[in-house]
Amino acid sequence: MNTERLLSPADASRVLAVTPATVRLMARRGDLPVAAMTEGGIHLFRPQDVEDLARKRARRRDTEARRLSDGGS
């Protein structure tokens, strides 16, 4: 298995600014697709999937911040 281009939960957590445990939770919920697993059961993620999720989370935060700055409407 060629895993040189895949990210570990720790690597993905740095991109997403969350803990590795949160990355694993995101994978279990289906928010972050698991590209492969090591023989030891560690989930590995495609960089593009992690970056896509990071952008989605940033857009959600920006939208929420705008909503709150507009008086919560």
Residue 35 · residue 44 · CB < 8 Å: yes
pLDDT of residue 3: 43
Rounded to two decimals, the pTM is 0.79
- Give the tens place of pLDDT for each residue, 1-53: 554 699 999 999 999 999 999 999 999 999 999 999 999 999 999 999 999 99
Would the CA dihedral through 30, 63, 47, 40 be positive or negative? Answer: negative
Q: Please indicate, yes or no, if residue 2 is contained in any of the structural domains.
A: no
Taking only the tens place, the pLDDT of each residue in 46-73 is: 999 999 999 999 998 878 777 777 876 5
Q: At 47, which CATH number?
A: 1.10.1660
Tell me whether residue 58 is in a domain.
yes
CB 43 within 8 A of CB 5: no
What is the number of structural domains in the chain? Answer: 1
The answer to whether residues 6 and 36 touch, using CB atoms and an 8 Å cutoff, is yes
DSSP-derived 3-state class of residue 52 = helix
Q: Which domain holds residue 21?
A: 9-66
Burial class (CB in 10 A: 0-12, 13-18, 19+), 46: middle
Q: Is 53 a domain residue?
A: yes
